Amino acid sequence: MQPSNSNSEISAQDIQPIISQLTLEEKAALCSGLDNWRTKPIERLGIPSIMMTDGPHGLRREKGEGFGNSEKATCFPTAVALASTWNTDLIQKVGAAIGEECQAQDVQILLGPGINIKRSPLNGRNFEYYSEDPILSGKIAAAFIKGVQSQGVGTSLKHFAVNNQEFERMSVSAEVDERTLREIYLRGFEIAVKEAKPTTLMCAYNRINSIFAAEHRYLLHEILKEEWGFEGFVMSDWGAVNDRVEGVKAGLQLEMPGNDGINDKKIVAAVQSGALEEERLDEVVADLLRVILKLAEQKKTGVTFNTEAHQELAQRAAAESIVLLKNEDSILPLSKKRFKSIAVIGDFAENPRFQGGGSSRVNPTKLDIPFQEIYRNLSTGMDLSFCNDSTNDDYLDNELMEDAQQAAQLADVAIVFAGLPNSYETEGYDRQHIDMPPSHIQLIEAVAKVQPNTVVVLQNGSAIAMPWANQVKGILESWLGGQGGGAAIANVLFGRVNPSGKLTETFPQKLEDTPAFLNFPGENRRVSYGEGLFVGYRYYDKKQIEPLFPFGFGLSYTTFEYQKMELSHELMTNEDTLEVSVSVKNTGNRAGQEIVQLYVSSDGNFPNAAIKELKAFAKVALEAGEEKTVTMTLNWRDFAFYHTQYKSWVTISNSFNILVGSSSQDIHLQESIHFQTTQNLPPIFDKYTTFKEMIVHPKSSDLVSPLMEQLMNGMFMDAEFPDEQSKKDAFEFGKAIVLDLPLCKAVGFSKGKFSEEMVEELLNKINT
Catalytic residues: 237
Q: Considering only CA atoms, which of 548, 716, 576 is closest in space to residue 633?
A: 576
In whole angstroms, how far apart are CA 235 and each of 279, 557, 608, 612, 749? Answer: 20, 45, 35, 36, 57
Q: Residue 307, exposed/middle/buried by CB under 10 A (0-12, 13-18, 19+)?
A: middle
Q: Considering only CA atoms, which of 299, 234, 288 is closest in space to residue 102?
A: 299
Give per-residue burial for 212-227: e unless 16+ CB within 10 Å, then b.
bbbbbbebbbebbbee
Q: Considering only CA atoms, which of 732, 731, 762 is closest in space to residue 744?
A: 762
Max Cα–Cα distance, the chain, nearest Å: 97
Distance CA 393, CA 709 (A): 73
Q: Residue 274, exposed/middle/buried by CB under 10 A (0-12, 13-18, 19+)?
A: exposed
Distance CA 612, CA 398 (A): 49
Q: Where are the beta strands (DSSP E) in 249-382?
A: 323-327, 341-345, 363-364
Q: Residue 680, exposed/middle/buried by CB under 10 A (0-12, 13-18, 19+)?
A: exposed
Distance of CA 33 to the CA centre of its chain: 29
Distance CA 164, CA 527 (A): 10
Classify residue 209 as left (phi > 0), alpha (psi -120 to 50) or beta: left
β-pair type (592-602, 654-663): antiparallel
Sign of CA dihedral 469, 474, 479, 482: negative
HSE-CB at 351 with a 13 A cutoff on CA atoms is 11
Residue pair 152/300 in contact by the 8 Å Cβ criterion: yes
> What DSSP line would sit under 382-409, residue for residue?
-EEEEE-----SSS--HHHHHHHHHHHH
Residue pair 154/108 in contact by the 8 Å Cβ criterion: yes
**What letter represents residue 733's amino acid?**
F
β-pair type (627-634, 641-643): unpaired
Residue pair 263/32 in contact by the 8 Å Cβ criterion: yes
In this structure, how many other beta carbons lie within 10 angstroms of the beta carbon of residue 197? 16
CA angle 108, 111, 112 (to 5 degrees): 125
Distance of CA 41 to the CA centre of its chain: 35
β-pair type (592-602, 613-622): antiparallel
Q: Residue 156, exposed/middle/buried by CB under 10 A (0-12, 13-18, 19+)?
A: buried
How much is the CA Rg of the chain, to the nearest whole Å? 29
CA angle 231, 232, 235 (to 5 degrees): 145
